[in-house]
Amino acid sequence: MPETSATSSSPAQQPVVLISGISGSGKSVALNALEDAGYFCVDNLPPELLRELVHLERDQLHPRIAVAADVRSARSLPLLLPLIEHLRAEGTQVLPIFLDARTETLVRRFSETRRRHPLSDARPPADGDAPSRQSLVDAIEGERDLLAPLRNMSTVIDTSDLRPAQLRAWVRQLVGAAEATLTLVFESFAFKHGVPRDADLVYDLRVLPNPHYVRELRPLTGRDQPVVDYLNAQPEAAEMLAQIESFLMRWLPAYEEDQRGYLTVALGCTGGQHRSVYCVEQLARRFQSRAPTLVRHRELEPRGDRGQ
């Protein structure tokens, strides 16, 4: 998976990474990835201690700090957004990353792990048994309401269809690109698995000629040269890419003026293997000199992670 072209910042300039999100969305995986990358990590920090922790650890020469805060500290959550603004006013960069997932995915994960939702105790079943599916859904939706303000000011990652290895890689990519004014994220996906919840712009490529129906190309991906050659020869593919490129070039300055950290452009086809992968790779090459770019292929297993 290509890495960002953003230049790494010096240790003193590293932003404080704030990991938050819906319970069951992968916050532990993300925090462990940052710990492995050399960050000083704290899980479930009460928000009122955030400023003190940042000052203390920076004084102790720990320039890389990551904190996980979520609904377990529900009573203090209203303090978090003002604290983030206060840190920024002091000159401390803060990178909020919010992990989300579809409700049905979260229900399945809680069912598989047999863990209770942090808010489920607020809705105990009448007979004293384990919470019903409906009470779990109620707890998840209640959590969404509580965390909505934090989600709105964060970079969102939808983990519904991600393997842990993908989530670790995506979090490291976001942190690595944090110094850029605006980072472009090009993401391929399959419509049959749903549109990514973290997408800002979505393009439907299913109208393009499909390499899946060419027997020799079926097992390949949009990264492989025979598929690239096939789609390069399709006038519709060239026109689609040109129009997407033109739109982005026209509106990128406006997105930059909006002080966005990331703009996620999601391109989908039926299986997320050929057309969407090809177009993501092509667009990333065209824009890498215009802005730092990240490439994601949601449906392709990352190289080197097979069998893990």
Most confident range (mean pLDDT) of 2-6, 122-126, 128-132, 206-210 is: 206-210
| Residue recorded with tokens 């919470």 | 131
**Partners of residue 158 on adjacent β-strands:** 100
Are 211 and 218 in contact by the 8 Å Cβ rule? The answer is: yes
Q: Tokens for 301, please give them.
A: 């297993």
pLDDT value for 10: 39
For domain 11-176, say whether CATH 3.40.50.300 is its number: yes
Q: What value, to the nearest 5°, has the Cα angle with vertex 65 and ends 29 and 164?
A: 10
Are 15 and 34 in contact by the 8 Å Cβ rule? The answer is: no
Give the integer Cα–Cα distance in Å for 54 and 47.
Answer: 12
Give the integer Cα–Cα distance in Å for 18 and 88.
Answer: 13
pTM: 0.62
Q: Is 234 buried (19+), middle (13-18) or exposed (0-12) by CB count in 10 A?
A: middle
- 28-37, 134-143, 254-263, 292-301: least confident range: 254-263
pLDDT, tens only, 23-61:
999 999 999 989 888 888 999 888 888 888 888 877 776
Are 185 and 264 in contact by the 8 Å Cβ rule? The answer is: yes
The 8-class DSSP code of residue 23 comes to T
pLDDT value for 117: 85
Question: What ranges do the domains of the chain cover?
Answer: 11-176, 183-297
Which one, of 293, 236, 296, 300, lies nearest residue 274 by Cα? 300
Average pLDDT along the chain: 84
Q: Give the pLDDT band of residue 223 (cuts 50, 70, 90).
A: very high
How many CB atoms lie under 10 A from the CB of residue 107?
17
pLDDT value for 304: 38
pLDDT, tens only, 163-177:
888 898 889 888 876
Q: Give the pLDDT band of residue 3 (cuts 50, 70, 90).
A: very low
Give the integer Cα–Cα distance in Å for 250 and 271.
Answer: 30
Report in angstroms the alpha-carbon separations of 59 from 12, 37, 125, 263.
11, 20, 48, 34
Has residue 88 got a pLDDT over 80?
Answer: yes
Q: Give the pLDDT band of residue 128 (cuts 50, 70, 90).
A: very low
Are 75 and 118 in contact by the 8 Å Cβ rule? The answer is: no
Percent of the chain with pLDDT over 70: 84
Give the integer Cα–Cα distance in Å for 5 and 293.
Answer: 6
Which one, of 303, 271, 26, lies nearest residue 160 by Cα? 26
Has residue 62 got a pLDDT over 80?
Answer: no
Give the integer Cα–Cα distance in Å for 133 and 18.
Answer: 30
Which residues, including other chains, have CB under 8 Å from residue 140's CB and lie 6 or more apart? 22, 23, 103, 106, 107, 117
